[in-house]
Amino acid sequence: MDFDYEELSSKSHRGGHLYQVRVADLHPTQCAVGLDEVHARAESIRNKSKDELMAYLITRPVPVVIGNDNKFCLTDHHHLARAVWEAAKKDNEAGIDEDNARVVVEVLYNWHVLKDYDFWKAMQGNAWVYLFDQAGGGPIQPAKLPRHVKDLRNDPYRGLAWYVRSHFGYSKRPADFAEFQWAQFFRLRLILDNRLLKNEIDGVDILLSEMKEADRNAIVEQAIYLARTPEAAGLPGYSGFVSGT
């Protein structure tokens, strides 16, 4: 798939220009995604024609920072990049595969002159890296971040946060890692699958999308209730007080 844009390189610069790059060449700046959201988006992408997919991705450029040995560091849209990769692994209308799966990108900064500590210090200062793992633990060392979007682990509470936002439990806000803030809020208050308490499943393997509909709906409804209580008032996109709490 070719967007007819210049290929992203270590010499690319900011300033309103759009580039293209292989998904395989992007480096994550977080450890986890909500695979429930990824799978839903991947299914939608698989059903798009080539022209539809190109239009979809052109209007959703992925922000990157170039630096730390000329790596293309993905600062947002990890779910989109992973969804494109997942869609490319199976039959899809656009005919993309893992070798030619691409996204459109915009360069926030070219910091190729910054190395190691200086680079990560600048990234942390701009809230462009999230040094917490799929269980909310951390901070971790930047060297332990995944090297490829396919290596992003599942955080089921990030998946829950997506479900809650999709059901208007809170509104989307351009805050730093807002969905992960909500994920941490829910993580401290809900057990998503009682098999965890029976030592039958690991948290990383929990997918709400694979639950019985009634069980999933009950969890999402409970989470929406929690999202509207005063306890959540400081979180980005908080939508208000629930009567009766």
**Rg of the chain, C-alpha, whole Å:** 19
CATH class belonging to 156-232: mainly alpha
Domain with CATH 1.10.8.10 in the chain: 156-232
Q: What is the CATH number of domain 6-153?
A: 3.90.1530.10
Other Cβ atoms closer than 10 A to 27: 17
Instruction: Give 93-135 pLDDT, tens digit per residue.
Output: 999 999 999 999 999 999 999 999 999 999 999 999 999 999 9
Distance (Å, whole) CA 179 – CA 165: 9
Other Cβ atoms closer than 10 A to 145: 20
Domain with CATH 3.90.1530.10 in the chain: 6-153
Instruction: Give 35-64 pLDDT, tens digit per residue.
Output: 999 999 999 999 999 999 999 999 999 999
The whole-model pTM stands at 0.94
- The pLDDT value given to residue 14: 83
Q: Which of 42, 2, 45 has the alpha carbon at shortest distance from 20?
A: 2
Residue 243 has pLDDT above 60, yes or no: no
- The pLDDT value given to residue 241: 62
Instruction: Give 120-174 pLDDT, tens digit per residue.
Output: 999 999 999 999 999 999 999 999 999 999 999 999 999 999 999 999 999 998 8
Residue 245 has pLDDT above 70, yes or no: no
> Kind and range of the H or E element at 109?
strand 102-111
- The pLDDT value given to residue 73: 97
Q: How confident is the model at residue 186 (pLDDT cuts 50, 70, 90)?
A: very high
Q: Are strands 26-27 and 71-74 parallel, antiparallel or unpaired?
A: parallel
Q: Which of 106, 103, 145 has the alpha carbon at shortest distance from 124?
A: 145
> Strands, E, within 18-91: which ranges?
18-22, 26-27, 32-33, 62-67, 71-74
Q: Which of 103, 107, 123 has the alpha carbon at shortest distance from 66?
A: 107
- The pLDDT value given to residue 68: 81
